[in-house]
Each structure stands twice: as C-alpha cells, then as structure tokens.
Amino acid sequence: MESEPNHCEILCLKNETDGNDEENEEKVDLTGDYGNAALLVLLYMFQGLLLGLCTAVPILLQNRGASYKEQALFTLVYYPFSLKVIWAPIIDACYINKFGRRKTWIIPSQILIGVSMIISSQYIDVWMGDEAKNSPNIIALTAVFFAMRFCASVQDCAADGWALCLLKKRNIGHVATCEMVGISAGWLIGYVILLVFESKEFCNSYLYSVPKDEGLLSLGGFLKFWGITFLMITALIAIFKKENSEMAEKLEEHPDYGIRKAYPTLWKVLNLKPVIKFSLFLLTIKVSFAACDAVSSLKLLEYGIPKDKIALMAMPLLPIQILLPVFISRFVTGKYPLDFYIKAFRFRLFMSVIMVLYIYLTPWMISGPEISFFYYAGIFVVYLLYHIPFRAMSISDTAFFARVSDPLIGGTYMTLLNTISNMGGKWSQTFFLWLVDIISWKECIHDEFSNSTLLLSTNKCNTKDEKEICVKNGGKCYTEIDGYYIEAIFCLIYGLIFYKLNKKTVEYLGRLPTDDWHILSKDYENVKIKKDENLLSS
C-alpha cells in the first residue's frame, strides 16, 4: 500500500491546533524546555529592544525641536513589520538545511542589526541634532532605523516559525508567554531605561552628587553596547544551537511546498470573502484611536511634562503586560474571541475620551511652580485604564487569528492577518500625526498682549526656526486652534459610527466555520478522500 506522509502531516498540524486533542490536554511541564524557552525570550527581547528604541527616538527628537511632520516621517520605521507578509513566504521556503531552516535567516539578520548599531553609534549625536543649534537629520535617522527594523522583521518571521517546533507540543502554549516576556523586557531596556538614564534632569536629581550637563547614558554609547551584544549572542547561537531538520524534510515532501506555489496560495487566501471583509475591518477600526495613540505622549511633552517622567510611568505597566493575558485568556480561548474584542473596543473608545480630557486640562493642573504628585498619579491611572482594553484587543484578535488560520500555511496566514492589523494602526497614526500641524493654527504674538490677537509678524510658528525668530523678536508662540483636539473629536465620532455599522459584521465573521477561512487544508483533505475512495473501489 502507498505510504501517506503528507496525510499524517495534516493530521499532526490539525492536532496542534485542536483544543480537544489528548496531546494538548497533557499536563504542561517545561522540563527539558527551559533552555529553548530562554532562547525564545532572548530572540523576542532583541525585537523589543529595537521597538523600544524606535519609541524613544521621537521623544528625544521632540526635545530637539522636531516638527510633527518630521515625526510623521520617522513613523515609517514601523512599516517593515506591517509589510513582512511580502517576504514571509520566502523565509519559509528558502533556507540552507545543513545550517538550519530558521538560523539561515536569524543569524544574518541579527549580524546586520549589530553592525548597523555599531556604525550608527558614531554618527547618532549629529543626526539627532542639538537643542540649541542644529536641526535633526530625519532622513538619516529614518533610513538607519528602517533598515534595522526590516532586519528585525525578517528575524521575527523566522523566530515565529522556529518557536512552533522548538518547544515540545505540550508546552506550545508557552510560545506566547516567551514572546510577551521577551518583547516587554527588550522594550523596557530600549525605551524606559534609555530615556530615564539619558535624562540629565533625572540623573542630577537622583544619581549625581554634583550636577552634570549630560545623563548617565548617551544614545551613541547605548547603540554601541547593544550592537556588540547582538554580535556576541548571535555568534553563540550560530555555533552551539542546533536545529531539528525533520520538519524541513517533511515540508519538502509536500506537493504544495515551494516558493513558486507560496505566493499563488497567499493570493488565494487574500481573495477569500471572509478574509476580504475582515481585512477591511482591521484596516479601518484603529482610526477610532489614531489621535490618542499617535499624539498624546508628544502633547504631554509640549505642555512641559519631562520625558523621563513619561518613561517612568511605563515601568509599572510591564507586570500588567505579563499578567493581563493570563486573566484575559479565559475570555478569548472559546469559540468566539471577537465578542470580547468588540467589548474591549467600547471601553477603549471611552478611555480615549478620558485621556484627551486629562491632557486638555494638563496646562491648568501643572501651572504651579512644581508638578504635583497627584497629577502624575492621575495620568498613570488614565494610562493604565487605557492600556487594559488596548492589550485586550490585541490578545483577542491574535486568538482569533490562530483559530481561523489554515494549519498547513499557519505561519504565512498568521503573518498576513497580523500585517493587515498592523497596517491598520500604522497608516492611521502616521496620517493623523502628519495632519496635526496642518489643521493647527498658531500665531506669534507679543508677550504683553498674549490675550489679544495682535500679530508680531506673519510668523505662524510652524517650524523650529520660526519659533526661534518669534522668541528673538520679543514674541511668544500661541496656539489658537490645536489640531490634536480636532482630531480627537473626529476619531470619537468615527468610532461611534464604526461600532454601530460593524457590530453585526464582526459577530458574523466570528461565527463562520473555520473551513470558510481555509485553502490548503480543505483542498488537500478533499484530494486525500478521493484517493482513498479510489483505492477502496479498486
């Protein structure tokens, strides 16, 4: 009788995603997997470190006079993760088997990131500009960080694929935990620690006995240290960590395996009616929070909140990022995770209103000689309550992605849905950040007549140079109409209408049979059934 290795593979892949499978009901035990779990945490930490850096740079640029248009240009560095579905099939299909299917991509990517960090550390201070004289070189900064984020997106695709076969089947649920712990730890290093210890105000207040003109860390030194660290750890992984080639050999036996068929299959997935409807939903829903997500932190800086204080507020959120998924899992592991997603949407929309109102009141609450503890406590509570539905929506949609993804092309399918979701957030944030300056109305007026509309000149205070000219001539930049609040009102109205129009669509998509989302599994099962019928009839 003819052997059926591919049929067995399908059953194996199905069992990995079937919640009723006996294998999944086996007691979770990390014995023998601690080293592999630590490796996953390390790989995801590298991603979190770069993400933290890309989050910290806009705050550092804000203190150096960068305009919102320049900030909008820098947000392009987030796009490689939103576009990684383009190269995900290549990463799955092309590799050097003797070196390792995943190491083929992880090792070169991390080497390029490390080298880029070391080289850019020599020029980063010039590119960042000077608070008093030189403007930031946004083009150079965007190009370098875009290149590093592109390499990180390649590493992410390979790491996600490796994670599914690196841990034992009984521990596959720990992949999400490893990812969250690693990214959170990396983000803590690249964002919070960098901003806090780079701040001379924080270091003079809490660390230095004698005040100095610079913080404990510099961005250049930080990049150089982590560039060297990237290279050292990458070398250790390349030399000592071996991959299991069994899965690669099985893939090569599959009739629909190979780069020539990967992209046509991806195109078929994109043309599925449920995928089209869900993609439109993912690409438009985050407009509801775009102004709040993209501009709120920058607006606090504009009002005079120190950047190190903003960074410190993020530290207590890190344990929540780890513990919250454990609590939320009971709501999203059922058949309809999108039901919880839409509930979290309502609460997040409400909290975005509270956040904007608190920021609007900030100038009055910090008008005294010092910013009170109660103000910081208030903004932390607002950030915390906003963060809960934000994380809940992320966990819910990821659970739904896992439920509907075709198991035969699970990596590419998951990447596709994640990419569409990321694009929905990034395009809206980039657009609304770019739009703030355009719809804002500023004037340069004389300090003595700050409550009047007396113009000092035709200066509109739109750029750093115009602001400096205004101050030198005895004027003061005054914002008559703030585009941030116009955007916030628009996003709220949009969110309410969006919820009303799409609630039933979400419920419909969430209740579709998983076969309606599948391509290869469904087709291949039909082929196997026909073959079996032919064998029986003969």
Domain CATH for 162: 1.20.1250.20
SS (H, E, C) 248-263: HHHHHHCCCCCHHHHH
Which CATH number fits the domain that encloses residue 372? Answer: 1.20.1250
Which of the pair, 24 or 386, is modelled with greater confidence? 386
390 lies in a domain?
Answer: yes
Q: Does residue 125 contact residue 73 with C-beta atoms inside 8 Å? A: no
Name the pTM for this structure: 0.69
11 lies in a domain?
Answer: no
* Domain end point (choices 213, 231, 253): 253
Same domain, 109 and 120: yes
Report the pLDDT value the prediction gives residue 309, as an integer from 0 to 100: 79
C-beta pairs of 16-25 under 8 Å, 24+ apart in sequence: 16/164, 16/169, 16/172, 16/407, 17/402, 17/407, 17/410, 19/333, 23/169, 23/170, 24/169, 24/170, 24/172
Over residues 265-312, the pLDDT tens digits come to 888 889 999 999 999 999 999 999 999 998 998 888 888 888 777 777
Over residues 513-533, the pLDDT tens digits come to 888 988 876 654 454 445 445
20 lies in a domain?
Answer: no
Same domain, 467 and 353: no
* Model confidence at 169: pLDDT above 80: no
7 lies in a domain?
Answer: no
Provide mean pLDDT across the span 311-325: 73
Report the pLDDT value the prediction gives residue 362, as an integer from 0 to 100: 92
Number of compact structural domains in the chain: 3
* Model confidence at 472: pLDDT above 50: yes
Report the pLDDT value the prediction gives residue 453, as an integer from 0 to 100: 47
Provide mean pLDDT across the span 136-144: 93
Q: Is 314 helix (H, G, I), strand (E, B) or coil?
A: helix
Provide mean pLDDT across the span 3-22: 39
How far is residue 198's CA from residue 203's CA, in Å, rounded to a whole number?
A: 8
Q: Which residues pair with 446 in a beta bridge?
A: 475
Domain of residue 305: give its range.
260-439+482-538
Provide mean pLDDT across the span 251-262: 64
Same domain, 64 and 184: yes
Same domain, 151 and 163: yes
How far is residue 37's CA from residue 186's CA, in Å, rounded to a whole number?
A: 16
Same domain, 458 and 493: no
How far is residue 409's CA from residue 265's CA, in Å, rounded to a whole number?
A: 9
407 lies in a domain?
Answer: yes
286 lies in a domain?
Answer: yes
Same domain, 498 and 471: no
Calculate the alpha carbon distances from 440 to 281, 434, 435 in Å.
30, 11, 9
Provide mean pLDDT across the span 189-217: 82
Same domain, 333 and 426: yes
* Model confidence at 232: pLDDT above 90: yes
Same domain, 318 and 236: no
Calculate the alpha carbon distances from 16 to 176, 291, 402, 410, 516 in Å.
15, 40, 11, 11, 19
Report the pLDDT value the prediction gives residue 358, as an integer from 0 to 100: 94
* Domain end point (choices 225, 253, 281): 253
334 lies in a domain?
Answer: yes
Same domain, 141 and 41: yes
3 lies in a domain?
Answer: no
Q: Give the DSSP H or E segment for 474.
A: none
Same domain, 130 and 221: yes
How far is residue 101's CA from residue 129's CA, in Å, rounded to a whole number?
A: 42
**Range in 109-118, 214-223, 403-412 the model is least confident about:** 403-412
Over residues 416-434, the pLDDT tens digits come to 888 899 889 889 998 999 9
Same domain, 447 and 431: no
Report the pLDDT value the prediction gives residue 401, as an integer from 0 to 100: 79
* Model confidence at 255: pLDDT above 60: no
Same domain, 476 and 450: yes
How far is residue 107's CA from residue 87's CA, in Å, rounded to a whole number?
A: 17
Calculate the alpha carbon distances from 335 to 402, 409, 515 in Å.
11, 21, 14
The token pair at 126 is: 């010039």
